[in-house]
Structure 1
Amino acid sequence: MAAWSDLTDDVLEYITSFLPFPDHYRFGAVCKNLRSISKQKLHPPAPQLPWLVLEEENETRKRKFYSLSEGKHYSIEIPELYGRYICGSSHGWLFAVDSEITAILVNPFTRECYELPPFPEYYIQRCDPFEEMRTQIVFKAILSHDPKERSDFMAMILFGAEYTTPAFWRPGDASWTAIDVPKKYTVDDIVYFKGNFYLISNFSTLSVLHLVNFDPEPKLTEVGPQIEHVGGQKYLVDFDGCLLLIDRCCVHVGDDITNGVRCDVIEPNLEKNCLYDWSDIDDYALFLGRNSSIFVDSSQFPTCKKNSINFTHLTDSFSREEFGCHEFGIFDMITKTWSTYYPVEASPASIGSPVWLTPNPW
């Protein structure tokens, strides 16, 4: 067997293509030659499961992350995130808001950053004091594209929490542009799908899909079939070119809702104007919350439960008694049961409002 020192640089560079990005750093820590190869970044890291972005540490101000693949916490020095609240994630980038209600878009691993325009004064007045109202500032924020790949990307956010207002921004814009939503609707989620943004909103006993039209002026247009709404939170997913609606609601079992969570998977077919119910999602796993929806092939990841829907939403605390709460957990599409993916015993009382992130360090 050849020694590592005898391997040529091209072979070593090829090996790095099989490493998730934490192992790139470990690879580079072995010796000077491997460090030089790892810094060249000729191959992107191997695919991995999303990470959870948690609170910053009180003493060090380092940002805490949880790697689902490794079942391991990381504390990383990211000065751009000091004192900021994470309100969205997309393409490996984070939306972060500080106590002055100013926002940035930042890649936490490359530290590339965009300063975002101030939020409208109306929302700033509603969000004081910051510590108490920070979860009310932005309900969700996503991108159309990775800013490193396309300079003409667009950011879309949902202001507020209970009654959300969509707004968009493009590089070069001096301000956010709000989009009017009829007062009868409450917006649940947003997705970028096949070149367009779509919203899902609720009114009385119905849920409605809206296409966001930008020309000649931004407005919402109802599209597709109407959907029955019986409460709960709805999520839109770009499932490999298929638009899905995930309906997550609590089901009371007596006085206990610990495992009383139901998730329905619906395909609203926009062309045929009809609905299809999905009984399962095969070997795939979904990761939903305040991030752009993520789906992965669980067969590539030994630690990932197939046919599962992983949620994280507006949870601020987490305890052994609360591990089954409907804001934070994993739903098994086969057994129709609810459990946790996060180590309760390793969690402090407060973990902030965690957000899924697909690391994008290249």
Structure 2
Amino acid sequence: MDFPYVISTILHILFFKLFPLLQFKTEYCSLEFPFTSSSAAELPFHLNMDDMSSPYRALNVGIESPELPSDVLDSIAKKLDIDDLFSFGEVCKDWRMFHSDFWREFMASHAPLIVQKTPHAKRACSFFSISDERIYNTLLPFFSGFSLAGFSSGYMVMAGQDNAVVLVNPFARKKMTISGSPDQGCVIDLYDRATLAFATNSSEEFVLVALCTWSFNMHVYQSRNSSWVIYSRWGTPWRVMDVVVCRNTLYAITDEAEIGVVMLNNNNHSLKILEFSNKPIFATSNLKLVSTDDKLLVVLVLPTLEVEIFMIDLSEMAWFKIELLGDRALFLGVNSKCYSLSNPGMWGFHSNCVYLISRNSPLCKLVSLKNQVIRVISLPENRGPLGAKLCNIDWCFRSRRDEMDYALHEE
């Protein structure tokens, strides 16, 4: 291959194709074209390349696109942020076909990302990949005044003014808006854990469980009737610490280590507490539920940030403390939730250990199940150009989608 020709071709593409798109990006982001908005409904973002009014179409008129080898396109794509990758796919037909395959592979990865943003960010958000040692930046719909309650089923759950909740999928360019919660006493920045689950028999129906662990509130939204319900307020009748989906069932755990099923009947908004033969008593209540390969785990986070892990046997209704995870790794957010990944070595992670992040620490600790620090991984601390501090909000599993069966939540 003629090396000078390749360099010349790449410069031609970047100058006449990609650079105009990147310059235009600021304009279309301000108009929020990439995200469509609806009330508890989702629509995909799509640009019509055949529409002559489209700015992308205008940029392509009269410009021929030299073909580039796939390895060159791959090198270009790997240098781009999330928003630029969408622009990349609109340059020309060849780039669009390559982008489709590249994006499919990107979304198929089970490797978790770390969600990062600065405390006063209005649109900017980042996703850091430990395995790739790189950061993906993106601009979301305007979220000033909103706090990030967590990442669940591909969506960032954001709680804001007037108790409104916005669900944003930064990888599918989808956005859903839910009307204010029923509890006006739960003010901004208090939703700190959220679980989103879609119905097994519908691609549109979903349930959102939002927790305020400061006031011990638990609110549940069902899209099928477009309404919120208060399950617990100020710790009455339960202080729910976490909720997870396992075997298509929504399980909750209280501060007293009671585990129950979230009932979704119109006339039964409660937890169906399960009876165990050996429920332990803990001195601390920082309990997290984890679903892994259709098994239910409980992770106890001690004040020293050491962890104890228990397997919940739902057939024998018993707790068992475990010392080994096998070919699994846990990804724990001290201020958020805990997740499990099977066969982590396939995605560049170690098995039988815990990856631990904290909101205000620039480190990720790799810890053994004996609570010995194996490795300390440095994370990006600041975002330019002003060097604003980045907070590690939660782990993001981009391809994971939780589903729940209504039949298992009704009596």
TM-score interval (norm. to shorter): 0.7 to 0.9
- Unaligned 5+ segments in structure 2 are 7-69, 402-411
1:338-357 aligned at under 5 Å gives the runs: 340-343=376-379, 350-352=389-391, 354-357=393-396
Larger Rg: 2
Q: How many residues were matched structurally?
A: 321
2:272 aligned to which of 221, 229, 250: 221
Q: Does 2:343 correspond to 1:307?
A: no
Worse overlay, 207-216 or 174-183: 174-183
* Aligned residue number for residue 336 of structure 1: 372
User: Contact 1:168/1:176 (CA < 8 Å) preserved in 2?
Assistant: yes
1:145–1:249 distance in 2 versus 1, CA, 3 Å = same
- For residue 183 of structure 1, give the secondary structure of its aligned residue in structure 2: coil
User: Contact 2:241/2:254 (CA < 8 Å) preserved in 1?
Assistant: yes
1:56–1:108 distance in 2 versus 1, CA, 3 Å = farther
How far is the alpha carbon of 1:222 from its aligned partner? 1.5
Q: Distance in 1 between matches of 2:381 and 2:183?
A: 42
Worse overlay, 168-177 or 272-281: 168-177
- Unaligned 5+ segments in structure 1 are 5-11, 252-260
* Aligned residue number for residue 298 of structure 1: 344
Q: Distance in 2 between matches of 1:296 and 1:345?
A: 29
Q: Does 2:130 correspond to 1:71?
A: no
Structure 1 residues 73-123: Cα deviation after superposition (integer angstroms, max 9, x where no partner)? 222122244553211211211101234432111101222111112022433
2:166 aligned to which of 99, 104, 127: 104
Q: Distance in 2 between matches of 1:311 and 1:149?
A: 35
Q: Distance in 1 between matches of 2:284 and 2:127?
A: 32
1:318 aligned to which of 349, 361, 368: 361
Q: TM-score, normalised by structure 1?
A: 0.74
* Aligned residue number for residue 259 of structure 2: 209
Structure 1 residues 108-153: Cα deviation after superposition (integer angstroms, max 9, x where no partner)? 12221111120224334xx3xx5xxx2xx21311112389972222
How far is the alpha carbon of 1:245 from its aligned partner? 0.8
1:247–1:344 distance in 2 versus 1, CA, 3 Å = same
- For residue 356 of structure 1, give the secondary structure of its aligned residue in structure 2: strand
* Aligned residue number for residue 168 of structure 1: 220
1:339–1:106 distance in 2 versus 1, CA, 3 Å = same
- For residue 214 of structure 2, give the secondary structure of its aligned residue in structure 1: coil
* Aligned residue number for residue 60 of structure 2: none
Q: Does 2:154 correspond to 1:92?
A: yes
- For residue 325 of structure 2, give the secondary structure of its aligned residue in structure 1: coil
Structure 1 residues 321-361: Cα deviation after superposition (integer angstroms, max 9, x where no partner)? xx5xxxx7442225633764343666867433511112249
Q: Distance in 2 between matches of 1:295 and 1:244?
A: 13
Aligned partner of 1:113: which letter?
K
Aligned partner of 1:220: which letter?
L
How far is the alpha carbon of 1:270 from its aligned partner? 2.0
Worse overlay, 166-175 or 241-250: 166-175
Q: Does 2:213 correspond to 1:153?
A: no
How far is the alpha carbon of 1:224 from its aligned partner? 4.0
Q: Distance in 2 between matches of 1:305 and 1:233?
A: 25
Q: Does 2:326 correspond to 1:276?
A: no
* Aligned residue number for residue 307 of structure 2: 263
Structure 1 residues 142-171: Cα deviation after superposition (integer angstroms, max 9, x where no partner)? 11238997222211111x223422221122
Aligned partner of 1:211: which letter?
V
Q: Distance in 2 between matches of 1:343 and 1:40?
A: 30
Q: TM-score, normalised by structure 2?
A: 0.66
Worse overlay, 34-43 or 277-286: 34-43
User: Contact 2:119/2:391 (CA < 8 Å) preserved in 1?
Assistant: no
Worse overlay, 80-89 or 209-218: 80-89
Aligned partner of 2:307: which letter?
C
1:13-28 aligned at under 5 Å gives the runs: 25=85
How far is the alpha carbon of 1:231 from its aligned partner? 1.0
Q: Distance in 2 between matches of 1:102 and 1:84?
A: 9
* Aligned residue number for residue 47 of structure 1: 109
Aligned-residue identity in percent: 16
How far is the alpha carbon of 1:189 from its aligned partner? 0.9
User: Contact 1:201/1:209 (CA < 8 Å) preserved in 2?
Assistant: yes
1:246 aligned to which of 288, 292, 299: 299
User: Contact 2:288/2:337 (CA < 8 Å) preserved in 1?
Assistant: no
Worse overlay, 28-37 or 62-71: 28-37
How far is the alpha carbon of 1:39 from its aligned partner? 4.5
How far is the alpha carbon of 1:176 from its aligned partner? 1.0
